Amino acid sequence: MRLGHRYKVPTAALIEALHIDRIPVYEEDVESGAAFAERTA
């Protein structure tokens, strides 16, 4: 979906369409992502 100058991909629908099993989410990855978001905001 196009939102202004960006595209947004409905991730859950994409994963289902590609027949990919659930993706594990690790606490370390969440923390790293939050730290990155804080630095770039």
CB neighbours of residue 29 within 10 Å: 10
Which stretches within the chain are classed as H helix?
Answer: 11-17, 27-40
pLDDT of residue 19: 92
Backbone angles phi, psi at 13, to 5 degrees: -65, -40
pLDDT of residue 28: 92
Instruction: Provide the residue-wise pLDDT of the chain in tens; the chain has 41 residues.
Output: 788 888 988 888 888 899 988 778 899 999 999 999 999 87
Check: CB of residue 14 under 8 Å from CB of residue 8: no
Query: Residue type at 24?
Result: P
Domains of the chain, by residue range, sit at 2-40
Structure tokens at 8: 């947004």
